[in-house]
Structures are given as structure tokens and as C-alpha cells.
Amino acid sequence: MEDHYQIRPAKIGDLSEVAAIEQTVFSDPWSPGMLRRAFEDQLALVAVDEDGAVVGYLLASAIGDEGEILNLAVHPAYRRRGLGARLTTEGLDLLRFRGVRQVFLEVRESNAGARRLYQSLEFEPVARRRWYYRNPREDALILTRALRTLPRVSAG
């Protein structure tokens, strides 16, 4: 049986499920308050299963023509199903629609799975941030990807 998931904009009602995934997945998770601010001020997408349960999410921001993927997580029980790639691809499409031309993100140097995902989505390393992560202390690799601009549609 094939799994079916919907990617949709996050709602405040999704916050508790997102916070639970955040606590499960990350060793230094964002607080519920930080997640709430991201929901209110940034681009936030969730992946939901057929029962409507949140199984993954993406948080991103756009300022001018630059964007940043702030956070991406998929519940461990739902990994290896393409959800991280789908969330990222849809997030990139929304950023492109908002006029973003270049997207950045940080990833733990030791997070081989995430690094493979981002490489498959054409992100490239451009820098390193020493001791960026706490718990455990570790460097972050800064990755970037250029986004092609959308063609302009004439009104007539």
C-alpha cells in the first residue's frame, strides 16, 4: 500500500504536534514559543498523514531576494518516504514565488542523512560555522542553492 501525505500551510493548531516532533528529533530543540513565533512570522509547512496527524514540518524565512530554511524535521517513524524532500521542494517553490533567488541553511556536519537530502536537492556547501550547535557542540555547514526566477506573466 502506498503512503499518501498532504503538504499544507501550518496552522497554530498544529503547534503541539510540531513541538512534539521537534523534541523527538533534535538534541537542542526550539521552544514552543520559538515555534509559535515562526508559525506567525515565517513560512511554515506541515506534512500530514491520511488521519490528519502532523508527521513533518518545514520552517523558512524570506527577506528580499534571500531565503533561509530554518528548520526541517520528519518524525522518525515516517522517514525514508520522501517527506523531507517534498517539504523542502514545496518550501523552495513558495520562496521562489516570493521572489527569493538564493536559499541558505545550516546543517550539522555529522548529519549525513540531511546532507545527502540537501545534496540531492542541489544545495552546495559554502562555509562552516564553528561550534554553531550546542548539545552536542558541533560545527554547522552552511549550504546554499540558487533559485531560478519565475517567468513574468503579462496581463493581456
5, 57, 118, 133: which is the annotated catalytic residue? 118
Sign of CA dihedral 127, 132, 138, 144: negative
Nearest to 60 by CA among 51, 69, 47: 69
17, 22, 68, 106: which is the annotated catalytic residue? 106
Beta strands in the chain (DSSP E): 6-9, 43-48, 54-63, 66-74, 102-108, 124-133, 138-146
118 catalytic per annotation: yes
40 catalytic per annotation: no
Residues annotated catalytic, as ranges: 106, 118
